[in-house]
Structure 1
Amino acid sequence: MNPVKALENHGQAVWLDFLARGFVAKGDLKKLIDTDGVKGVTSNPSIFEKAIGSSDEYDAPIGQALKRGDRPVSELFEHLAVEDIQHAADVLRPVYDHLGGHDGFVSLEVSPYLAMDTKATIAEAERLWKEVDRKNLMVKVPATTPGLPAIQQLIGEGISINITLLFSQKVYVKVAEAYLSGLEKYVAEGGDPSHIASVASFFVSRIDTAADKLIDEKIAQANDPTEKERLAGLKGKVAVANAKLAYQEYKRLFSGARWDKLAAKGAKPQRLLWASTGTKNKDYSDVLYVEELIGPNTVNTVPPATLDAFRDHGKLRDSLEENVEDARHVLDELEKSGISLDAITAELVKDGVKQFADAADKLYGAVAHKRATVLSAGLDRQQMALGSSLGKAVEKSTEDWRASAKIRRLWQHDKSVWTGDDENKWLGWLTSPAAADIADYEDFAHRVKGQSFTDAVVLGMGGSSLGPEVLAQTFPKKAGFPKLHVLDSTDPAQVRTMQASINLADTLFIVSSKSGGTTEPNVMKDYFFERVSETIGADKAGYRFIAVTDPGSSLQKVAAKQDFARTFYGDPAIGGRYSVLSPFGLVPAAAAGVDLRTLLTHTMAMVRSCGPDVPPHENPGVQLGLAMGLAGLEGRDKVTILSSKKIADFGAWAEQLIAESTGKDGKGLVPIDGETLGDAASYGNDRFFIDIRTEGESDAAHDGKLAALENAGHPVVRIVMKSIEHIGQEFFRFEMAVAVAGSVLGINPFNQPDVEAAKIKTRELTAAFEKTGSLPKEQPVISTDAADIYTDEKNAAALRQAGADGDLDSWLKAHLARSGADDYVALLAYIERNATHIDSLQHMRLAVRDKRHVATCAEFGPRFLHSTGQAYKGGPDSGVFLQITADDARDLAVPGQKASFGIIKAAQARGDFGVLTERNRRALRVHLKGDLASGLKMLDTAIQNALN
């Protein structure tokens, strides 16, 4: 009989500290049961990580599992682990049956992430017990302070438990007490305890590793040779001594009247299991922690190498109760030396929790990688070329995020991930795709189709309009459904253009506002409600309107009063710019006939890829966010978004998300959208490029320029979408990335402290108009036949000193010359946003970029006030702003108030400019007179002249 099998003659069971699918399937476990008398198997995250991450034997099972439907990484691993545990339990079941339930167990650990959470540990243990559904399962629960009540509760429910991470005799007594109390509860409730089993896994070798290190330090400090010798005599003996004395506690605890009463009911004692018995110190025997801990009614769980070694040269004797007094002496001597065993064991528990969590990170990372590989046909690709410096910073930050569990904490709504302000109240976007009521949206879409609407118009601003606009621009019109439009302006010409492009009698209006108090959607609603009333009758007008708003808003009340066809409610825990995957984006999408079931299915694949169980190094949202945030800290804060033709409008949505989320407290990222890609020489060292396109779109010239940028040292992120139906993946990736970037930058990414300032000034100006019939007078710094120029005294003085005099060219020359390295120039035009005007601003901005080598923005007001306006006012003071206003050829009245659309727009422009100058921004306003087309052409010429 070989030494391993002979251990059973000494009352000790051998369990194997190893598990892998092929090991069980090929019969290797069965062979060890037959030849060595192995009576159990234990698993932990480290064992599973080596099995899954270091081989391809799990690739096929992962692929098969995903064919039945995608799932979060933790659930995917659990599916694999449960199957492995079930297979091993089935192989060991004859042992269990033969020994009457005294042995033959397989152990599966609750997530080490839950080691400090009693309730979550209990819930997961209950679920695993049910999922595995094998009598010979033991669920592993750590002997942490929160773990102890979980142990008692679970034993009291009749669940067999393997207590892990146990180092201390004192804690062992508490563990045994928890077991006894749990049994008593179970019996008191009429349960039969004979099927309950438990082991207390007492860790051994790690104690010697820690104690020997401290002993060596004491030896190095000692001067007396006798003292050195005494200390040296303690090395390699502390762990065994600690275990032997724990066994004496076991004998005491499982004897006497209390235990006899339970035993009479059929209860089994909780055996001590020697864990961590592989020798760490090569100076010690490789079977030390087997040979010295042999005793009745115990278990030794050994790794395969130790099992092989003991089979080869292990020596058998009843060693566990030998020299117990010597064991006490060893621990006494250790204490006399000033080394606290209690301190060692407390630190080992803490370190053990960390090690298992680290192993779980590696495990989930391996599963995440394999999942992404299997799902590669359905997941958008992300490739980052960051350069040496930024790449190393991201690598370091990735490890910091992993070690501090930040992605899990983010999903747990831990506001300390950011500034500790109110961030925890704004994380509803994390679960909004999963929470979407697809059936309700499909029913709504069916009803819209049944009404034969020709058009659907979203009336909203910022987060309520930019997401729907991406969907409207990306998805082609679907047969039978209305064409989707978005109106997000108070410019009278733009309102008229929208009216002219639709048939009022057959148009569905979607009034979208979280608060219900936003000026623009309210006046747009008032205008179109009156137009529809005139067209089809006031009694029917309400049926052409849908509201999307937060519960309890003023818009909800208006919708009820005016008999809107329906009101959809948003989640108050989702800010506007994060709302595209909530009703604010999904209602317009449904109205336009977008296949939301497919869209959200694809979206959920990215949600899972960015989930709490995907470690930072495999988490695409975290990786992009870290890169963006760290690039910003390195001065590359101009996030330049390049969107290909099929998804050309995506940048406008991402622009708001980035600007409003990060641009505050004098720092942040400045998004640059729509700036045509130039040669590498056009750019300074403040750029971070994100190129996003759909698979199959090719542009050799564009790709060449992008490669040149990368070769020149600029960080470049390439994202390739599988199709336009995957747009939801990018919405979520960017939401996660910007939230992560906010953490890196040290700001609250969910507030917008500087947006309200312009609104206040606008309200003051419109109130003055309502009272007096005119806006307050303002004095231009110069006036010509073609334009008036305005700015505050401080800016005017600086510009005059720089050469500004009596003509527009000189003021523009002085103003644009203020832009230097790492600055950006923003053109802020309060005019109709149409293709012609977009082209005009593009021509101006590119001239500035190519001459000044600075980033440029071309924005239309008041639209940008709910987007990049936050960063312009609250972000870094690196902007040079040229506001463009103009006379309105024809104004447009707003029903029920004196202020017209033109007056409201003018008030918004002046309010915006006032805040810019109050914040000491470099700002100049040009008001074009007369014909707008001529005025824009004149301004373009003036800018060209100013740049020469």
Structure 2
Amino acid sequence: MTTPRVEITDEGLAEAAASLVEKLVGDAAASKLAGQDPTLWGPDAEPEASKRLSWTLLHNTSRPLVAELDALRRELHEDGVDRVVLAGMGGSSLAPEVICATRSGAEIGGAYPLVVLDTTDPGQVSDALAGDLSRTVLVVSSKSGGTVETDSQRRIFAQVFEANGIDAASRMVAVTDPGTSLGDLARDQGFRRLVEADPGVGGRYSALTAFGLVPSALTGVDVGALLDEAAEAAPALARDAADNPAVVLAAAMAAAHAAGAEKVVLADTGSGLVGFGNWAEQLIAESTGKQGTGLLPVVVEGPEAPGFADAGPDATPIAIGPAAGGARVSVTGSLGGQFLLWETAVALAGRLLGINPFDQPDVESAKQATRDLLAAAGSGDGAGTHDDAPVLTDGPVEVRVAGSAEQAGWLGSPATLAAAIQALVDATPEAGYVAIQAYLDRLDDASFATLRPELAKATGLQVTFGWGPRFLHSTGQYHKGGHQNGTFLQVTGSVADDLAIPGQPFSFGTLEHAQARGDAGVLAAPKNGRPQGDVTARPVLRLHLADRAAGLVAVANAVREVSR
């Protein structure tokens, strides 16, 4: 095992961080956090913080799960069930995906294969259903118990299990907080197992709770070893000392933010922690992106990727692994140790930034917009998920814009797809960012992720990439609540073979489209009633691909014509 280590490699940043390190040490912030003191973030945050600090001791309190999950895995294997599908979003899926991929190495479907279903795209849902159902267990994972994506996935798996002569309840394991509707359903229907998680832990801090451990253990991962790694790191992270790695990381991020570097660019430099940046992305964005401030995580492809080695003064490159490629900070350590390190550091950074790291006040708006669109679609009033007419069609790509004509004045009258994307880039403020949001199949349409480095290289801007709707459970909070200098490139695609959701009046394709359109509408609306012209009326360009493969080529070619 490797105890976490944080090194600030930039001399100027190290000097600026030193006073914040001294402040955190003088305030005994690390030991108070380890002792679950809810007063660290001020009186306004105290009610929420008092219910969200159990994660600091999970390396001890999650121990009883190890034997329980080992027994459940053996029980399933005796029945010939060894394929694990996880229906979950955000904190319910990101940690187990990293755990299984890391313990397997970089090999896809390696030693501990986990099928992660964190989407409403009909193609990706169909792929999960196409596996060997005779060997499949579905882990239904939702903290609230009512996550619409997870509930929809559960419904269709239940239907397909039964259609194949398989008792659906015997193939379902529920993970949820006590007292939820999912827990009630699991008991009423007799699920194979109901595992209730610690309710004193928020979703993005839940890597070492049942949400992270259940699906991982069922694939065969030694989750006890993961807890051992966190336990080894815990004493160093609780010390009020200048060499506490969590204190150093928190101070580095806060000092950089104070100097105008409101973004942290994360690149893996050989850590061996496969996909760790995607987990850290949610933790950082949801914890800090609120009240018009925060840290925007930008996950890039490696230390040579655009936006990392050439990061400007608005961004801090952080290496997950040894220092490389111009990194100003490097973070190393075991997987379990780094889970606890980053959770501690982000919570301490919240204290320095003056925000509550445990709430997510802007997440609900997109969910409500989706519900409103689905309700309108079901009412037959002609509204709902139908799109407005495109402002132009360029080959396989229909170009639309979110918001009213007044709010969309930034677009002008583009004649081509490239001109429309150029208008979005031109509307991005200095030191702003562009967020690409792809409501597509992240397996079959994986090549869409190449748009991130292409656009970053063409514009010199920081560019994020998120798969919808899963990013709504991570960076979606920052986009609405953090620094208001983002512009948004939303991509949707035609659905060749839609899937009905049993017991619901809408399909997966309809739900996915409603989520995209609902979030676009929320993003495009002026924030807090401020007038059009204020940057908080966020520019949102919507690209719909009539043909996904041809559309990718067209969008990629258009991006190469863009400049800044």
SS of 1:605's partner is: helix
Deviation, 1:617, is: 0.8
The answer to whether residue 137 in structure 2 is matched with residue 518 in structure 1 is no
Match of 2:510 in 1: 903
Match of 2:551 in 1: 935
Match of 1:597 in 2: 224
Provide the rounded CA distance (Å) in 2 between the counterparts of 1:874 and 1:607.
Answer: 31
Deviation, 1:410, is: 2.2
The answer to whether residue 295 in structure 2 is matched with residue 669 in structure 1 is yes
SS of 2:539's partner is: strand
- How far does the alpha carbon of each residue in 1:551-605 deviate from its partner, in whole angstroms, 9 at most, with x for none? 0100001111221011001111100000010000011111011112222112101
Provide the rounded CA distance (Å) in 2 between the counterparts of 1:684 and 1:641.
Answer: 14
Match of 1:648 in 2: 274
Provide the rounded CA distance (Å) in 1 between the counterparts of 2:39 and 2:219.
Answer: 40
Contact 1:782 1:806 in 2 (8 A): no
The answer to whether residue 406 in structure 2 is matched with residue 789 in structure 1 is no
* Greater RCO, CA 8 A, separation 6+: 2
Contact 2:410 2:424 in 1 (8 A): no
Aligned to 1:684, which of 306, 312, 324?
312
**In the superposition, relative to structure 1, how do residues 739 and 752 fare at CA in structure 2: closer, same or farther (>3 Å)?**
same
Provide the rounded CA distance (Å) in 1 between the counterparts of 2:338 and 2:556.
Answer: 36
**In the superposition, relative to structure 1, how do residues 409 and 719 fare at CA in structure 2: closer, same or farther (>3 Å)?**
closer
Aligned to 1:400, which of 23, 37, 48?
23
Q: How does 1:92-131 map to 2 (within 5 A)?
A: none
Contact 2:104 2:112 in 1 (8 A): no
Contact 1:675 1:857 in 2 (8 A): no
Provide the rounded CA distance (Å) in 2 between the counterparts of 1:681 and 1:794.
Answer: 38
SS of 1:922's partner is: coil
Provide the rounded CA distance (Å) in 2 between the counterparts of 1:817 and 1:481.
Answer: 47
Contact 1:640 1:672 in 2 (8 A): yes
Provide the rounded CA distance (Å) in 2 between the counterparts of 1:893 and 1:644.
Answer: 43
Aligned to 2:460, which of 853, 856, 868?
853
774-783 or 924-933, larger mean C-alpha shift: 774-783
Match of 2:157 in 1: 528
Provide the rounded CA distance (Å) in 2 between the counterparts of 1:597 and 1:929.
Answer: 45
Deviation, 1:665, is: 0.7
Aligned to 2:242, which of 605, 617, 621?
617
Q: How does 1:260-339 map to 2 (within 5 A)?
A: none
SS of 2:208's partner is: coil
Match of 2:410 in 1: 798
Q: How does 1:313-712 map to 2 (within 5 A)?
A: 378-388=2-12, 390-420=13-43, 421=45, 422-436=48-62, 437=64, 438-476=66-104, 483-500=113-130, 502-537=131-166, 540-611=167-238, 614-644=239-269, 646-676=272-302, 677-678=304-305, 682-693=310-321, 706=325, 709=326
SS of 2:200's partner is: coil
Equivalent AA in structure 1 for residue 399 of structure 2: D
Provide the rounded CA distance (Å) in 1 between the counterparts of 2:389 and 2:52.
Answer: 43
Equivalent AA in structure 2 for residue 789 of structure 1: R
Contact 1:913 1:923 in 2 (8 A): no
SS of 2:561's partner is: helix
User: Which structure shows the higher helix fraction?
Assistant: 1
Contact 2:266 2:297 in 1 (8 A): yes
Deviation, 1:412, is: 3.3
SS of 1:760's partner is: helix
SS of 1:789's partner is: strand
SS of 2:495's partner is: coil
Deviation, 1:426, is: 0.7
**In the superposition, relative to structure 1, how do residues 449 and 693 fare at CA in structure 2: closer, same or farther (>3 Å)?**
farther
- How far does the alpha carbon of each residue in 1:23-58 deviate from its partner, in whole angstroms, 9 at most, with x for none? xxxxxxxxxxxxxxxxxxxxxxxxxxxxxxxxxxxx
SS of 2:484's partner is: coil
587-596 or 672-681, larger mean C-alpha shift: 672-681
Aligned to 1:766, which of 374, 383, 389?
374
- How far does the alpha carbon of each residue in 1:453-504 deviate from its partner, in whole angstroms, 9 at most, with x for none? 231011000000111111222222999997321100000011112222x211
Equivalent AA in structure 2 for residue 658 of structure 1: I
Contact 2:410 2:427 in 1 (8 A): no
Deviation, 1:675, is: 3.9
Provide the rounded CA distance (Å) in 2 between the counterparts of 1:482 and 1:413.
Answer: 34
Provide the rounded CA distance (Å) in 2 between the counterparts of 1:507 and 1:598.
Answer: 25
Structure of larger gyration radius: 1
- Structure 2: state its 5+ residue gaps: 528-535
Contact 2:498 2:508 in 1 (8 A): yes
Deviation, 1:727, is: 0.9
Q: How does 1:682-761 map to 2 (within 5 A)?
A: 682-693=310-321, 706=325, 709=326, 716-721=328-333, 726-761=334-369
Provide the rounded CA distance (Å) in 1 between the counterparts of 2:122 and 2:390.
Answer: 27
Q: How does 1:859-874 map to 2 (within 5 A)?
A: 859-874=466-481
RMSD of aligned alpha carbons: 2.3
Provide the rounded CA distance (Å) in 1 between the counterparts of 2:214 and 2:342.
Answer: 21
Contact 2:213 2:223 in 1 (8 A): yes
Provide the rounded CA distance (Å) in 2 between the counterparts of 1:759 and 1:532.
Answer: 29
Provide the rounded CA distance (Å) in 2 between the counterparts of 1:876 and 1:935.
Answer: 31
Contact 1:659 1:867 in 2 (8 A): yes
Provide the rounded CA distance (Å) in 1 between the counterparts of 2:545 and 2:430.
Answer: 33
**In the superposition, relative to structure 1, how do residues 851 and 930 fare at CA in structure 2: closer, same or farther (>3 Å)?**
closer
**In the superposition, relative to structure 1, how do residues 682 and 480 fare at CA in structure 2: closer, same or farther (>3 Å)?**
closer
Contact 1:427 1:574 in 2 (8 A): yes
Match of 1:925 in 2: 541
Provide the rounded CA distance (Å) in 1 between the counterparts of 2:354 and 2:399.
Answer: 41
Provide the rounded CA distance (Å) in 2 between the counterparts of 1:494 and 1:621.
Answer: 37
**In the superposition, relative to structure 1, how do residues 911 and 396 fare at CA in structure 2: closer, same or farther (>3 Å)?**
same
**In the superposition, relative to structure 1, how do residues 532 and 866 fare at CA in structure 2: closer, same or farther (>3 Å)?**
same
TM-score by length of 1: 0.55
Provide the rounded CA distance (Å) in 2 between the counterparts of 1:378 and 1:931.
Answer: 48
